[in-house]
Structure 1
Amino acid sequence: MKFKVFLVFIVSGLFFSCKSTYLDSKKSPVLLNISAEKDENSFVNLKNYSNDFVFDMKYATADNFLKEQVYPCSECFLRVKTVKALLAANSVFLEKGFKIKLFDCYRPKAIQEKMWKIVPDANYVANPKKGSIHNRGGAVDITLVDLNGKELDMGTTFDFFGEEASHNFSNLPENVLKNRKFLKEIMLQNNFKSFDSEWWHYNLNGSNTDEISNLKWNCN
C-alpha cells in the first residue's frame, strides 16, 4: 500500500507542497490487484498483493552477517514492475509445489550508508556512493521452500561470502546444483537476471537505470 502525504505551507500568500519521503507499512484489509497499479516505478508493499510468499527479512533482525538489526521493521517494498515480475515467477513455482522465500527487498540509501559504516568493504556491502539495485527497488534476495515451508538445499546459507555461493561453482551435490538451476531458470524466464557470485540475488532486467531511492518506511 502506498502512503502519500502532502504538507502545504503558506508563505507570503504562496503555496508550497512537500511530498512525504515515507512508505506506509500498514496492511490493506484485502489483497490488492497489482495490475491496477499504473505507475510502474512507484513503490508498493509486496505483502498487499499476495499471501503466497514466505518472508524472513534478515536485516530486520540481528541474524545476518552484520550481526546487527539495520531495518526498522520486516517489510518488503519494491517497485510495481518488480512486484509484477516476482508474482509471475512465484505463480510458476506454486504450480510446481514450491514458493519464494524472501530475505531482502528494497533498501533505502540511508540504510545502505549505515551498513557501509558497519562493514566498509565493497566485497560484502555496496558502496552507497554507487548504490545497489536494492536501493533502486529492483533486487530481491530469495530462496525456495516447499509447500510445508521447508527450504530447498542451496548448498550455502544466505549471505555466505565464499566461492561456494557462486552460480559458477560446480563442486556441489547434484541435488544442490539442481535446486539452484531450478530457481535460476524460472527467475530468468520472468524478467530477472542472476548475480554470478550470489545464488540468492536476482535483479529485474533494466533496473540498474532506475534512480537510487531513500524512501523510508513507517512501521506500524
Structure 2
Amino acid sequence: MNKKTVLYCIFLLCAPLLLVAQKPLSALETYLQLQGMENVSRQDSTIKCDLKYATTDNFTKTILYDSLFNTIYLHPLAAKKLLEAQRYLKKLHPELNLLVYDGVRPLSVQKKMYTVVQNTKYAAYVANPSRTGLHNYGMAVDLTICDQNGKPLDMGTPFDFFGRAAGTNKEAELLAAGLLTSRQVKNRRLLRKVMTSAGFLTISGEWWHFNAVSLGEARRSYKVVK
C-alpha cells in the first residue's frame, strides 16, 4: 500500500469524527458573525466562559439568550483587547484565567431583559433599549478572574450585585466599613490592572464591567447589533 493510499484511508476513518466535532452554529452565532462580531473563545480557549444570561443563573431568573449559546462574541476591537488582557494575566499569574459572564448583547436581548424586569425591584437597574449601551455594540464585557479549576476569585460581591459594595470608586471606605476584605480589594485591583493595561475603561458602579471604547465613540463610529 503506497503513501497516498494510506493517507486516504486515514482521511476516510477520521472524516466522520471531524463532522461530529464541528457542531453547526446556532442561528444567533450565525447572525453575530454576519454582524462582524468575533468568536473570542475560538481564538483563545483559555479564556473561560459562563454566559449568565444564557441560563437562569442571573438576576432575572430567565434565559435571555439561546439556551445553547455559551461562546464569547465581541466586536473585533474589544476582542483584541480581551486577548491582550488574558495574555497579561497569564504572564503575571499563569494559573489564573479571565472568566466572561457577558459579551455582545444584541438589542433584542436587551429588550427582553427590559420587559422581564418591569414591575420588579430590578426595573431601575436595566437600561431602556431605546438608549443603546456598549454591550449592544459588542464593545463591553462583564467578567472576573478564576483559578485553574474555574472557580471565580472572591471579589466581595457576586456578578450583577445591586448595592454599593459592587462599586469601585470607594473601595477604601468599603474596606474600612468591613464590607470588603483586603483580599477582595486585591483581587479587584488585579482584574482592573490586566483590563486597563489592554486599553479597557472601567466604570464606578460595577467591578465586573469594562468598556473597550466610550459610548460616544461607539455611537459615532460603530453599528448596533440588533
- Normalising by the smaller structure, the TM-score range is 0.7 to 0.9
| Cross-structure match for 1:214 | 225
Deviation per CA, 1:96-148, whole angstroms, max 9, x where unpaired? 13110000000111111111111146632121111111001110000001223
Is the Cα contact below 8 Å between 2:138 and 2:225 reproduced in 1? no
| Cross-structure match for 1:94 | 90
Is the Cα contact below 8 Å between 1:131 and 1:212 reproduced in 2? no
| Cross-structure match for 2:188 | 180
Give the distance between the partners of 2:150 and 2:41, measured in 1 at CA. Answer: 17
Is the Cα contact below 8 Å between 1:154 and 1:176 reproduced in 2? yes
Instruction: Please state how far the C-alpha of 1:44 moved relative to its aligned partner.
Output: 1.2
Structure 1 unaligned segments of length 5 or more: list them: 4-20, 26-40, 216-220
Instruction: Please state how far the C-alpha of 1:45 moved relative to its aligned partner.
Output: 1.3
Instruction: Please state how far the C-alpha of 1:151 moved relative to its aligned partner.
Output: 1.5
Is the Cα contact below 8 Å between 1:109 and 1:212 reproduced in 2? no
| Cross-structure match for 1:38 | none
Is the Cα contact below 8 Å between 1:136 and 1:208 reproduced in 2? no
| Cross-structure match for 1:23 | 32
How many positions carry a matched residue from both structures? 181
| Cross-structure match for 2:77 | 81
Is the Cα contact below 8 Å between 2:133 and 2:215 reproduced in 1? no
Is the Cα contact below 8 Å between 2:164 and 2:205 reproduced in 1? yes
Counterpart secondary structure, 1:23: helix
Q: Greater share of strand residues, 1 or 2? A: 1
The correspondence for 1:106, drawn from 93, 104, 107, is 104
| Cross-structure match for 1:201 | 209
TM-score normalised by length of structure 1 = 0.76
Instruction: Please state how far the C-alpha of 1:150 moved relative to its aligned partner.
Output: 2.3
Structure 1 residues 212 and 118: CA distance shift in structure 2, 3 A: farther
Structure 2 unaligned segments of length 5 or more: list them: 1-24
Is the Cα contact below 8 Å between 2:82 and 2:198 reproduced in 1? yes
Instruction: Please state how far the C-alpha of 1:57 moved relative to its aligned partner.
Output: 0.5
Q: Greater share of helix residues, 1 or 2? A: 2
Amino acid at match of 1:110: S
| Cross-structure match for 2:53 | 59
